[in-house]
Structure 1
Amino acid sequence: MKKKTLVLGASINPSRYSYLAIQRLISNKQEVEAIGSKEGEVSGVKICTTRKIFKNIHTITLYLNKRNQVQFYDYIVALNPKRVLFNPGTENIELEKLLSKNNIAFEKACTLVLLGLGEY
């Protein structure tokens, strides 16, 4: 099943996990949008630096630490995704509570592992 995914904290640096996530999502035939601090492109996916309102986002996968997530709280809720994935190092109880309050599911899981196991 296709799950349109927003990679929040995307990077053009090949050594970053967000870069690998974009590559693997594309190779798993998922539609991908990306927002990062620098514009660029990874596997044909343009990385935006603005909070564009994307339609039909199923999953937001976080690659931002807790401190850098705060500025995106309202944006994440406004996109109304089906779920948010907290990759290792992005765990945030405050955001989890906000997601629960807005009936948005979340998981503490690694996008790369889920894709590797076929459980994305």
Structure 2
Amino acid sequence: MKTLVIGASSNPERYANMALKSLLKHQHEVVAVGLKKEVVEGVTIETEKIPFSGVHTVSLYLNPVRQQEYYDYIINLKPQRVIFNPGTENPELYRLLEANGIGYEVACTLVLLATNQF
């Protein structure tokens, strides 16, 4: 299942980086968008909002203010779900997702993967 990490980073101390690597380790296809065009474990972090096809899950690593510019992008991707990792909780985006028939979870991608609940 294809997962888009928004807020991806090449910094190994960032949770977005750990999640990207864990997704790959668990055999998930990963695409990524972040501030800097970098490559992590063979995945190119794009700086533009690329209209990736077939995205099942969006894993968010942006605070609610930074998420605002991604609302339309996420909705237009039509993912099955959006995971709001700790610190990304955003009731405004929850409502927009619900209005567009997109599921969401307030959870931690790393924990979901580690406990086979992803």
TM-score normalised according to structure 1 size: 0.97
State which of 87, 92, 95 in structure 2 corresponds to 1:97.
Answer: 95
Match of 2:34 in 1: 36
SS in structure 2 of the partner of residue 58 of structure 1: strand
Q: Which amino acid in the other structure matches residue 31 of structure 1?
A: E
Q: Counterpart in 2 of 1:16?
A: 14
Measured in 2, the distance between the counterparts of 1:29 and 1:100 equals 29
Residue deviations 1:91-110, cap 9 Å, x none?
A: 00000000000000000000
Residue 43 of structure 1 and its aligned partner are, at CA, apart by: 1.0
Runs (5+) with no aligned partner, structure 2: none
**Equivalent position of 2:48 in the other structure:** 50
Does residue 59 of structure 1 match 2:69? no
In the TM superposition, residue 118 of structure 1 has moved relative to its aligned partner by 0.7
Which amino acid letter does the alignment assign opposite residue 29 of structure 2? E
- Deviations along 1:14-34, one digit per CA (max 9) or x if unpaired, are 100000001000000000000
SS in 1 for 2:51: coil
2: CA distance, partners of 1:43 / 1:58: 21
Structure 1, unmatched stretches of 5+, are none
Amino acid at match of 2:53: K
In 2, Cα distance between the equivalents of 1:77 and 1:87? 18
What is the match of residue 82 of structure 1?
80
State the identity as a percent. 51
Normalised to the residue count of structure 2, the TM-score between the two structures is: 0.99
RMSD of Structure 2 on Structure 1 (CA): 0.4
Match of 2:24 among 9, 23, 26: 26
